[in-house]
Each structure stands twice: as structure tokens, then as C-alpha cells.
């Protein structure tokens, strides 16, 4: 017996078997029930999402011997012949091979005649965007005033190429890419009905490779069954698809977190030995960084326990700011990869760039550097706007004496508990969400390793379990013993390190603006040229020359 491909064997025969596209299914079912059938429907979407399948199901609904119904019987002569592709009143046309106007005119010559067997004569034109301009003109009049017994079903992957006159005469349905989870579930169902076994991880790999196309997924499943000798397992699927091993990207990220360049290059060497596609590896690295960032902020678990354990481990190891920087470097590296001498060297440079840079913090700004006023060449954001992130090379750390941010200087000047807590927060060196949490709290008491902190209700969202745990770990490391931290929410908590930092920044800004206003050289330019300082353009800077020096 001739083998039938899975994509054809398990093609849906009614709306209930259709995977995804609930919005299209609902509209068509309601239209059939209420007998509100438009003479022309246009189905758009990428390959393998169900455009032709939907058209054939609709043809069965219109010509089923039980009547026009959203639930065709599937047993009458019309239903069986449509399923087998031999129904005489279902005229399927491949527009890619019949683009000439003569072909379209020949097709439309028989529109006026009644159906031979069915209730409707259905014209299914696939890839309709391939028709020529004259062919569209020939089709236009028939679409506008079709006979009552004619139904047009158009399908295309590129609706932008259709004339507006054709689009205006059709009810258009945009079919979406099918989610990976839905594809994996359908593949598992097909394997079960075929009496075959398959690993869930292998099915997820196939669903990911299908890129939203169920037909492609079933074709890949056919190939995987043949490759695995009747079974579908993850190792065989990865080998068949040429994808890298599951632990390759986590190993790269662990080596990156540990700062071990040699370990990273060893993994790259292994990937090169497997003839891996480094563009695909970089795409997987981006996907992994995205999952880690989501896990850090939202705590969303992965699809399986093994992956969840890996992402949670990496999320605890890597800082949130580091993950964001790595993602941006990988994104730019993916764009520039074709420009590299070869894909491997380009991929290695992306990894080394991640290793060479870290997000700069306030600790990298020298404490003894006196700010200089400078006029920006163009207007900048107001002083109250959040400053842009700055990135500094790891190989050039700031001196130990310059590790205190402006917030510490302001806090120590203030004295008291608020100043002590601000100094302690600066010494912790926390970044990301944990650093924000520490900066927006005030110290109520600290006795015998028990810290009682207060945070304003407006900043309560910073108090996540992950940020709190990182704060406890940092305090324990500085104190040299395990500590306990309790955080109480209050309407007002007094002066926090963040408030002190804002006051220090405002003071520096005021000093810079005063320096500009009183500078003789600036006043001379104003008097001679009628110039003026653009509001909001003055910024305190540590690298600007002293305008008062001669």
C-alpha cells in the first residue's frame, strides 16, 4: 500500500479538528449557522497555517448533503469527494501556474452555469497574488456580482500584492502562526494515533523548527520518525535538525558569569567540531538571555523542570543589568555577524565583548573629581530625567579611594542613622533591583545581625523576594555573619539613600548652572553675539575644562 504523508493523512476535515485560528473558526461557524455567507473569502497567512484546509472545510460545509451547516457529516458523497480531491464542483486553481489573462477568462467562462453535483460551485484560487494585472481585471467584475450559486475562496501568503479593488470585494481573514505549544500537542496526538512514541522535548524541538507552520511540523515529524527508526527522541531530532546540544548555551553563560574566557572558547571549539551554525547558536543565546531576564523580573518558569532549574540557576548567578547588556551585545553581534571574517570568529568576538564590559555603577565615578560645568552642543533632557546607563571596561576598575558615589558624600555630611545607612548601602555595591531596593529604604534598627528597614508604599514593588535575598546576601558578606532583614511598608520613611543622591545631584546641577551664569567668558559671548544658554543644556561633568582657568 502506498504510504501517505502525515501532513496529508492528518489534515483536518472539519472545524473541530482545526488547530489554532479560533478567531477565523468562530466567524465562519457563526456565518454558516445564520446563513450569512459572503460570496468571496480571502484567507491570508504564512505557509502551513491552514489557508487551503479552511477553504476545503468551508466547501464541505456549503455542499454537504445534510444542508449548509458548520458541521459537515463527512460521510455523504460530496464530503467524501471533497476530502479525496475529486469533487467536480470544487475547482482548485494554482494561480502561480495560471497567471495569464487567457487562463482566468477560460476559468470564468463556466461561472454562469449551475453546479453539476453540489449546491455551490466553489472556486478555490491558491496564491492568488500571482495573477497578472489583466487577470485581476477579468476577475473583478465576477467578484463584484457573482451568480448566487458561485463561491470564491482565495488564499495568499502575500496580500499586499493584491489590488485594493479585489480586497474590497472579499471578507478577509488573517491566519496567525500556530503557537509552539499547540504544534507540540498536535504532534503528540498524531504519534499516539499512529502508535508511535516520542519524547516531549523532541516534539518541542520540532515545533520550534516549524516556525508556526503545522504542515512543516508534520513533515519534520515524518522525517524524524524515519530517522529514529519509528521513535522520536531529542538526541536524534537535534542531530537531524543540526541544532546544538541543550547544555551548550548554559555552559557558555556559566563560563561568562565566572569570567572564564578559556572555558567559553572550549565550548565554541566543541560547537565548531559539530559543524554548528553560529548564527543559529547566537539566536539561541539571545533566546536564553530573554528567558533569564523574564525569570529574573517576573519569575516565569520554563516549559520543563530541567530547563527551569537551568534558568533559575543562571538568573541567580547573572546580574539583571549584565543580562540586559549581554542581550544588547548579542543583538548587535547578530546583525554584524555576516561582516566578520568567518562566523566562528564573529561569534567569539561577541562572547569576548560580553566578557570585556560590565555596566558601570556609581562606584566607578571618582569621589574627588570636582564637577565642571559645560554647555552641551544641543539641548538635553531636564535635570530631573533619569541619566543614561554608562558602560565601562572591566579591565579598568576605579581606584578603591574613588569607590564612594556622590550619595555617600551627601549622606556622611548629613550624619546620623540616615548617613550611616547610606554609607552601608554604598559599600554593598548592589546593582539592579536589589540596589534600588536598598537605596529606597531607611534603617530603623540594626541589632545583633537583625536589620529592620522601612520602605515607602510607592516603592513597595521593589521588594521582591529575589531582590530581598540578594540584599541579605550582601549584608551578610559585609558583616561577616548571617543576617536577617525585615522590611516594613510605611507611608513615610524619612530620608533614604536615594533621596540623598537626588539632593546631591541637584546641588551639583545648581553649582554647574551658577558657574555658567557667572562665567566672564560666557557673559562676553552673550554681550558681543547676543547668544544665550539653551535651557536644560547645562550638565555637571568631570571631564570638562575649567571655564574660569586662563
Domain spans of the chain, in order of start: 6-174, 180-241, 248-359, 375-543
18: nearest Cα among 173, 169, 247: 173
Say what the pLDDT of residue 387 is. Answer: 37
For residue 453 the three cell numbers come to 528597614
Are 364 and 404 in contact, with CB atoms under 8 Å apart?
no
Indicate if the pLDDT at residue 338 is higher than 80. Answer: yes
- pLDDT of 541: 66
Q: List, in sequence order, every residue forming a beta bridge with 455; answer none if it has no partner.
A: 441, 489
Per-residue model confidence (pLDDT) at position 146: 86
Topology of domain 180-241, CATH: Helicase, Ruva Protein; domain 3 (1.10.8)
Q: Say if strands 197-198 and 40-44 run parallel, antiparallel, or are unpaired.
A: unpaired
Range from 45-49, 356-360, 473-477 carrying the lowest mean pLDDT:
356-360
Report phi then psi at 218, rounded to 5.
-70, -35
pLDDT of amino acid 301 = 55
| Mean of the per-residue pLDDT values of the chain | 81
Please check the confidence at residue 12 and state whether its pLDDT lies above 60: yes
> What confidence tier does 417 reach under pLDDT thresholds 50, 70, 90?
low
How many Cα atoms sit within 13 Å of 169 on the Cβ side? 21
The pTM of the full predicted model, rounded to 2 decimals, is 0.57
d(CA 494, CA 443): 10
> Look-up: residue for cell 470564491?
152
Q: How remote is the C-alpha of 230 from its chain's centroid? A: 35
430 pLDDT above the threshold of 50: yes
Q: Residue 161 pLDDT > 70, yes or no? A: yes
Distance CA 469, CA 485 (A): 9
- Please state the separation of Cα 471 from the chain's center in Å: 30
Angle between helices 432-439 and 320-336 (to 10 degrees): 140
- Taking the C-alpha atoms of residue 450 and residue 428, their distance in angstroms, rounded to an integer, is 16
pLDDT for position 243:
74
Instruction: Please name the residues in contact with 167: beta carbons below 8 A apart, sequence gap of 6 or more.
Output: 42, 159
- Percent of the chain past pLDDT 90, that is, above it, reads 25
Q: Do domains 6-174 and 180-241 have the same CATH topology?
A: no
Residue 153 predicted with pLDDT over 80: yes
> Alpha helices of 195-299 — where are they, by DSSP H?
200-210, 214-227, 234-241, 248-258, 261-273, 278-298
CA–CA distances in Å: residue 358 to residues 353, 362, 533 = 10, 13, 35
> How is domain 6-174 classified at the CATH fold level?
Rossmann fold (3.40.50)
Characterise 50 by phi-psi region: left (phi > 0), alpha (psi -120 to 50), beta (else): left
Report pLDDT for 510: 80
Alpha-carbon gap, residue 267 to 263, rounded angstroms: 6
Of 357, 307, 297, 364, the C-alpha closest to 333 is: 357
pLDDT of 44 reads: 92
Q: What per-residue confidence (pLDDT) applies to 55?
A: 92
C-alpha cell at 284: 539561541
State the CB neighbour count (10 A cutoff) for residue 389.
Answer: 11
Strand partners, 450: 447, 484
Residue 57: which pLDDT band, with cuts at 50, 70 and 90?
very high
CA 180-185-189 angle, 5° bins: 145
> What number does CATH give the domain 248-359?
1.20.272.10
56 with 167: CB under 8 angstroms?
no
Query: Given this model, what pLDDT does residue 369 score?
Result: 41
Residue-wise pLDDT for 119-137, tens only, equals: 999 999 998 998 888 888 8
**How far is the C-alpha of 321 from the C-alpha of 504, rounded, in Å?**
24
∠ Cα 27 212 315 (to 5°): 120
Task: Write down the architecture of domain 375-543 according to CATH.
Answer: 2-Layer Sandwich (3.30)
Q: Per-residue DSSP letters for 479-535?
A: HTS--EEEEEEES-----HHHHHHHHHHHHHHHHHHHHHH-HHHHHHHHHH---PPT
State mean pLDDT over 403-425.
Answer: 57
Contact 344, 272 (CB under 8 A): yes
Amino acid at each position: 500500500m502506498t504510504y501517505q504523508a502525515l501532513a496529508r493523512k492528518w489534515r483536518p476535515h472539519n472545524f473541530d479538528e482545526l488547530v489554532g485560528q479560533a478567531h477565523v473558526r468562530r466567524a465562519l461557524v457563526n456565518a454558516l449557522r445564520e446563513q450569512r455567507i459572503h460570496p468571496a473569502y480571502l484567507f491570508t497567512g504564512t505557509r502551513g497555517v491552514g489557508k487551503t484546509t479552511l477553504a476545503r472545510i468551508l466547501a464541505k460545509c456549503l455542499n454537504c448533503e445534510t444542508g449548509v451547516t458548520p458541521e459537515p457529516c463527512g460521510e455523504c458523497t460530496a464530503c467524501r469527494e471533497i476530502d479525496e480531491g475529486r469533487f467536480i464542483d470544487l475547482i482548485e486553481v494554482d494561480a502561480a501556474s495560471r497567471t495569464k489573462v487567457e487562463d482566468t477568462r477560460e476559468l470564468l467562462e463556466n461561472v454562469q452555469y449551475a453546479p453539476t453535483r453540489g449546491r455551490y460551485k466553489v472556486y478555490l484560487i491558491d496564491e492568488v497574488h500571482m495573477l497578472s494585472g489583466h487577470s485581476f481585471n477579468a476577475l473583478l467584475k465576477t467578484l463584484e456580482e457573482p451568480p448566487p450559486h458561485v463561491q470564491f475562496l482565495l488564499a495568499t501568503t502575500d496580500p499586499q500584492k493584491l489590488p485594493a479593488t479585489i480586497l474590497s470585494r472579499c471578507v478577509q481573514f488573517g491566519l496567525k502562526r500556530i503557537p509552539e505549544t499547540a504544534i507540540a500537542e498536535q504532534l503528540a496526538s498524531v504519534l499516539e494515533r499512529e502508535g508511535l512514541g516520542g519524547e516531549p522535548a523532541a516534539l518541542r524541538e520540532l515545533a520550534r523548527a516549524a516556525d508556526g507552520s503545522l504542515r512543516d511540523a508534520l513533515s519534520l515529524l515524518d522525517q524524524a520518525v524515519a530517522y529514529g527508526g519509528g521513535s522520536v527522541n531529542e538526541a536524534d531530532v537535534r542531530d537531524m535538525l543540526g541544532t546544538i546540544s541543550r547544555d551548550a548555551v548554559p555552559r557558555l553563560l556559566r563560563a561568562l558569569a565566572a569570567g572564564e574566557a578559556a572555558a567559553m572558547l572550549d565550548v565554541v571549539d566543541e560547537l565548531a567540531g559539530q559543524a554548528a551554525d553560529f548564527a543559529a547558536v547566537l539566536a539561541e543565546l539571545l533566546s536564553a538571555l530573554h528567558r533569564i531576564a523574564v525569570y529574573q523580573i517576573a519569575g516565569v518558569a520554563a516549559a520543563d523542570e530541567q530547563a527551569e532549574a537551568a534558568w533559575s540557576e543562571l538568573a541567580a548567578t547573572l546580574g539583571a543589568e549584565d543580562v540586559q547588556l549581554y542581550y544588547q551585545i548579542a543583538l548587535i553581534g547578530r546583525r554584524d555577524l555576516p561582516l566578520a571574517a568567518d562566523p566562528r570568529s564573529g561569534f567569539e568576538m561577541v562572547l569576548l565583548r560580553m566578557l570585556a564590559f560590565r555596566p558601570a555603577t556609581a562606584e566607578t565615578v571618582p569621589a574627588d573629581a570636582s564637577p565642571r560645568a559645560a554647555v552641551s552642543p544641543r539641548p538635553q533632557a531636564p535635570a530631573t530625567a533619569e541619566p543614561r546607563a554608562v558602560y565601562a571596561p572591566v579591565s579598568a576598575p576605579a581606584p578603591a579611594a574613588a569607590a564612594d558615589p556622590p550619595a555617600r558624600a551627601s549622606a556622611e555630611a548629613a550624619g546620623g542613622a540616615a548617613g550611616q545607612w547610606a554609607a552601608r548601602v554604598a559599600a554593598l555595591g548592589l546593582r539592579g533591583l536589589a540596589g534600588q531596593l536598598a537605596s529606597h529604604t531607611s534603617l530603623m534598627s540594626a541589632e545583633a545581625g537583625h536589620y529592620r528597614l522601612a520602605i515607602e508604599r510607592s516603592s513597595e514593588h521593589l521588594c521582591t523576594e529575589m531582590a530581598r535575598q540578594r540584599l541579605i546576601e550582601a549584608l551578610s558578606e559585609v558583616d561577616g555573619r548571617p543576617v536577617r532583614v525585615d522590611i516594613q511598608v510605611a507611608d513615610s520613611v524619612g530620608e533614604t539613600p536615594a533621596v540623598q543622591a537626588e539632593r546631591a545631584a541637584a546641588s551639583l546641577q545648581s553649582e554647574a548652572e551658577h558657574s555658567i551664569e557667572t562665567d566672564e567668558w560666557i557673559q562676553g559671548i552673550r554681550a558681543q553675539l547676543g547668544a544665550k544658554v539653551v535651557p536644560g543644556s547645562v550638565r555637571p561633568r568631570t571631564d570638562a575644562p575649567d571655564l574660569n582657568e586662563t
